[in-house]
Structure 1
Amino acid sequence: MWHSICNFFLTNPSVAIFLTLGLGYLLGRFHIKNFKLGATVGVLLVGLVIGQMGKFQIAPVVKNIFFDLFIFTIGYEVGPAFIASFKKKGLKFIIQSVVFTIIAFIVAFGLFKIFHVQFGEAGGIIAGALTQSACIGTANSAIEALHISQAAKTAAMSQVAIAYALTYVFGTVGVLIFLKNIAPAILHKNLREATKQYIEKNHISSSTQGLKVSANIRVRAFKLEKDCKFIGKTVADFDNSNKGIAIEEVVRNGKFLTNLTQPLENQDVILVVGDIKDFAKFADEGHALSELDANNFPVSLTEKTVLLTKEFTSQKLEKILNHGVVIDSATHDGEKISDYTRLTEGDYVKLVGMTNYLSRAIKDIGYEKAAGTKTDVSYMSIGIFLGILLGAIVITIHTIPLTLGGGGGALFAGLYFGWLQQKHPNIGVIPPSTRWLLKSLGLNLFIGVVGLEAGSGFVQALKEMGWLVFVIGILVSILPHLLTLLFSKFVLKMNIVDNIGSLCGSGTITAALNAVNAETDSTVFALSYTPTYALGNIFLTVMAPLVVALLV
């Protein structure tokens, strides 16, 4: 019976893959306080268990396709923030992220050489100890490019998966405890009190500082009488000749006009939005209008994300806000801000207001970013294609072959295509829901296949690795964070909030960010986490294939 079940799974690997995903995602929901096992570890562990049934034969192209989708999407998402982080104002964060990566590389490579760690184990330790799951894929890509036998490649890839599983838990929990509890003690600081002082010093709040927003916005309805001077004029003419008020809708013969470029006619009803004081001035001028009950003419609100262009000025934005438009959120240099006076060309602002007025007004400050519900598959596919070509390039230095591999190439292509899409929002749209699916399913299907293929040799490999891999993983997890913490404190003169927040990003450990946020009841750490997280995703992902190449 058991033999028949195993044989069925081995001859139908797609069944095993989807069972691994289903059970792995369920296992990944397990959590204790701030530590959550996560889908990736859950899928890997389930894959290793199901892999005990025998040696699964799964075409390598399956892993490659899904990993390329995942890694391209990662690059696409962090690309704009990665490029923005190189601006001068974030120089300390850039230096810290680079220093963290260099220290991590030196510590890891030194330990690997001292203890004669094999290159497959090394790739897995980096992926697990530094909690960068993408390293599994880039390490495997580097192994595939090596001039060794297929059996040796398979064994090395199994070592990657097993070493990752052994080191990931401490890489998450150990670093979380270090950054939340031990790091503040080393710096002799109370984290909660230091966070409060940081917020007060930097005047961080949720107000729209510097921009005057009127709270006295009203919508009024008027009927044009035969002597009204606006008859024959357009909506644009009305808006330009009346400061502080604008037409939102025109009702003709009981129906809303769909084309607001038509001239106004006698007996048209206009719905006007504006400030009370501007309405008072408008009424004093006398325009042969009769007022109606505006409640009989419902108007709709809309939300638009606007890319600010060189036409933008704070005065133009203030004028729009004084027509009943409010700012929902804004991003400057890739990070959310509450001080809207910092907005400049190239930033994004999400506005909520009357549909027709907002559509007309945003042309004065920029243009709408296409929200998009459909994925530009052509844009994405061409990006991955170019990335794979880039990854195929091999540079030999002193007999050491260095290559990004297909995964590394797709990552850098994603960086560029993500940055390009931000500059031209109406092309290359990949909606958030699609990006989540590509990242989650892309990575975890790849990980599931890795687990299934490594499962049959798991027990033997575990015996060969022993406790040494776990101990090395602890050192690779903690030492880079400790040394970078001290470097940032005494050399870069960073305060504790920026120091810990950016370390969470440099080590790409979101669990630690969530932990310090919960500890201090504040999300201010995200300000320094965001730029270094973008950098960390790139630097750590590239580190794995470099270590593999140097250890061969």
Structure 2
Amino acid sequence: MSDIALTVSVLALVAVVGLWIGNIKVRGVGFGIGGVLFGGIIVGHFVDQAGVTLSGDMLHFIQEFGLILFVYTIGIQVGPGFFASLRVSGLRLNLFAVLIVIMGGLVTAILHKIFAIPLPVVLGIFSGAVTNTPALGAGQQILRDLGTPVDLVDQMGMSYAMAYPFGICGILLTMWLMRLIFRVNVEAEAQKHESSLANGHSLIQTMNIRVENPNLNNMAIQDVPILNSDKIICSRLKRDDTLMVPSPGTIIQAGDLLHLVGQPTDLHNAQLVIGKEVDTSLSTRGTDLRVERVVVTNEKVLGKRIRDLHFKERYDVVISRLNRAGVELVASSDASLQFGDILNLVGRPASIDAVANVVGNAQQKLQQVQMLPVFIGIGLGVLLGSIPLFVPGFPVALKLGLAGGPLIMALILGRIGSIGKLYWFMPPSANLALRELGIVLFLAVVGLKSGGDFVDTLTQGEGLSWIGYGIFITAIPLITVGLLARIFAKMNYLTLCGMLAGSMTDPPALAFANNLHATSGAAALSYATVYPLVMFLRIITPQLLALLLCLFAGGLAIYGYLRWLRNEKAMRLKEDLPYTHSLLIISVILMIVAVIVMGLVLYAG
């Protein structure tokens, strides 16, 4: 059997064993895709015992390509919502999640200093303790850039596997501990969450208002400032028994009923200006109007602003709202259309059909994948990750690497949506397939490389101590931030659980949080809010962790470690000063950032 055939066969065996392990669940919680890592360790152990040699170059290529596929598809998936999650509505949740990431790095740095844990090992423990596989890939990438020997880089995968199991269990235990400490009534928390949604925090809602302000009588809608802004959409107007689709030039009269769409605070302001909220239905049933959702699939309208398409003037149709990547938005006139956008239209049937033809509304296109943008995005991401960032006094240039570069590029392209006829929308099924394929390939290779020495490390080496270090990295940030969020910010328990799961980008933990209450979507909402930013931070953290270690080592520990890797003699302190000063400056900056984040968290609470 050729080397290629042998390597592919072994990888297939690893995937089968690992996915089977991942499907084993105890009380609804399992390793999921992480089981592939343990499948690789098991197969790798027996492959090593049998003396079988696999192609190192091929394994390295498969590992890196799998990582690129994984992080790129994640970026495309979360890109449209990434920047939206940084808005004020999600500020508090994101600040707490960022604090968990920062504290995890600080705990790792302290353990590294106190117990003199080798850098590859501590980065692996950190990645496993936070259950983030892309962090493992990013850490291995920077270690190779630093010139770390291959055998030490492989230790990172082994320490990752040691810390991973408690990383999953630790999140669940933290949720249980928060519930025990604060004696949480889950049903009451769910009701509070629903009440907060009803009060309209950052959700698109509707309101029917009767015009009672005499100053607005016989005024055109476009002359009423609150109605002429992009914050409010007036999608229907009812006068007597006639329901119509209003245009900017429509004259409103006292007693008219307006159906408005917008943010709760904006709707409240409109109600204060216009008149009184009423319960009267403005349903299109029994009228010549209808409401329909259509999807944007026509390349000719991609990137065009809603106002430039003149739907109201040409077709007498109003776009009442826009759904992009699962996020409901007010259809402001300045909004540019992206492939896959879902438009909520109000108008007459023939007019809606005409608009649907303009925007495409071809459902079959949503299942097609444009492969050209995929490879353009991956290529640009690899180039971005290869750009060196020179820090004065630092021995090597920092890079985003094959994990950070494709991720950031995918976030940007996902946010842009389209350039000309190229669009970066990817059907969810295709995105999931490529993402799962990538992570399976990556974990399979990591497991195979770690399997040979795994058993000896666990039984005769430092495996148990690595597990202990991982427990600290998992538990301390989660428990600390959980207490802060509950005590100072009075955060809803279900929202807190979703935020904790999102801060670890851990789907099994989200499943556990969702099962706390059968109908509440609080956990899923907070998880989705913090996930994009946290995933980005988790991937770049291993590259920045070397700088964070300077908070405790004063720059000399990393310098000495790198010198040791190169088997060079220690330099005199006089020669070390420029390097040390540079790292100390970076350390001070990072410390200030941590303090600012803590202050913002408490202020936002």
So what's the TM-score if we normalise by structure 2? 0.66
Q: Secondary structure at the match of 2:56?
A: coil
Could you tell me whether the CA contact under 8 Å between 1:143 and 1:548 is conserved in 2? no
2:491 paired residue among 465, 470, 494: 494
| 2:137 is the counterpart of 1:137 | yes
Q: 1:202 to 1:346 in 2, by over 3 A?
A: farther
| 1:479 aligned partner | 476
Equivalents in 1 of 2:198, 2:537: separation in Å? 33
Q: 1:302 to 1:423 in 2, by over 3 A?
A: farther
Q: 1:454 to 1:191 in 2, by over 3 A?
A: same
What amino acid does structure 1 have at the position aligned with 2:22? Answer: G
Please identify the structure whose Cα radius of gyration is greater. Answer: 1
Give how far 1:492 is off: 4.3
Could you tell me whether the CA contact under 8 Å between 2:171 and 2:500 is conserved in 1? no
Q: Secondary structure at the match of 2:86?
A: coil
| 1:79 aligned partner | 79
2:295 paired residue among 305, 320, 325: 305
Equivalents in 1 of 2:326, 2:311: separation in Å? 19
| 2:40 is the counterpart of 1:47 | yes
Q: 1:56 to 1:113 in 2, by over 3 A?
A: farther
Q: 1:303 to 1:314 in 2, by over 3 A?
A: closer
| 1:399 aligned partner | 394
Equivalents in 2 of 1:369, 1:544: separation in Å? 43
| 1:457 aligned partner | 453
| 2:507 aligned partner | 510
| 1:168 aligned partner | 164
Could you tell me whether the CA contact under 8 Å between 1:120 and 1:159 is conserved in 2? yes
Q: Secondary structure at the match of 2:294?
A: strand
What amino acid does structure 1 have at the position aligned with 2:411? Answer: L
Q: Secondary structure at the match of 2:157?
A: helix
Could you tell me whether the CA contact under 8 Å between 2:67 and 2:402 is conserved in 1? no
Equivalents in 2 of 1:314, 1:516: separation in Å? 43
What amino acid does structure 2 have at the position aligned with 1:530? Answer: A
Could you tell me whether the CA contact under 8 Å between 1:57 and 1:453 is conserved in 2? no
Q: How does 1:176-325 map to 2 (within 5 A)?
A: 176-179=172-175, 181-203=176-198, 210=206, 276-278=286-288, 304-306=294-296, 309-311=305-307
Give how far 1:115 is off: 1.4
What amino acid does structure 2 have at the position aligned with 1:107? Answer: V
| 1:448 aligned partner | 444
Unaligned 5+ residue runs, structure 2?
A: 209-241, 246-283, 297-301, 550-557, 562-605
| 1:269 aligned partner | none
Give how far 1:82 is off: 1.3
Q: 1:277 to 1:427 in 2, by over 3 A?
A: closer
| 1:120 aligned partner | 120
2:431 paired residue among 420, 435, 457: 435
What amino acid does structure 1 have at the position aligned with 2:512? Answer: A
| 2:352 aligned partner | 358
| 2:219 aligned partner | none
Could you tell me whether the CA contact under 8 Å between 1:138 and 1:541 is conserved in 2? yes
So what's the TM-score if we normalise by structure 1? 0.71
Could you tell me whether the CA contact under 8 Å between 1:56 and 1:452 is conserved in 2? no
Equivalents in 2 of 1:160, 1:443: separation in Å? 17
| 1:349 aligned partner | 342
Give how far 1:546 is off: 2.6
| 1:218 aligned partner | none
Could you tell me whether the CA contact under 8 Å between 1:158 and 1:458 is conserved in 2? no
Deviations 1:370-417 (A, max 9, x none): 843332222221222222222223334533533221221111111111
Deviations 1:84-123 (A, max 9, x none): 1222232212322221211111112211221111122222
Highest relative contact order (Cα 8 Å, sep 6+), 1 or 2?
1
| 1:528 aligned partner | 526
Equivalents in 2 of 1:131, 1:85: separation in Å? 22
| 2:375 is the counterpart of 1:377 | no
Equivalents in 2 of 1:361, 1:30: separation in Å? 49
Identity in percent: 24
Unaligned 5+ residue runs, structure 1?
A: 1-6, 213-241, 246-273, 280-300
Equivalent pairs, count: 450
Could you tell me whether the CA contact under 8 Å between 1:335 and 1:530 is conserved in 2? no
What amino acid does structure 1 have at the position aligned with 2:31? Answer: L
Deviations 1:403-449 (A, max 9, x none): 22122111111111111127989622322222111110111111111
Deviations 1:211-239 (A, max 9, x none): 68xxxxxxxxxxxxxxxxxxxxxxxxxxx
Q: 1:277 to 1:358 in 2, by over 3 A?
A: closer
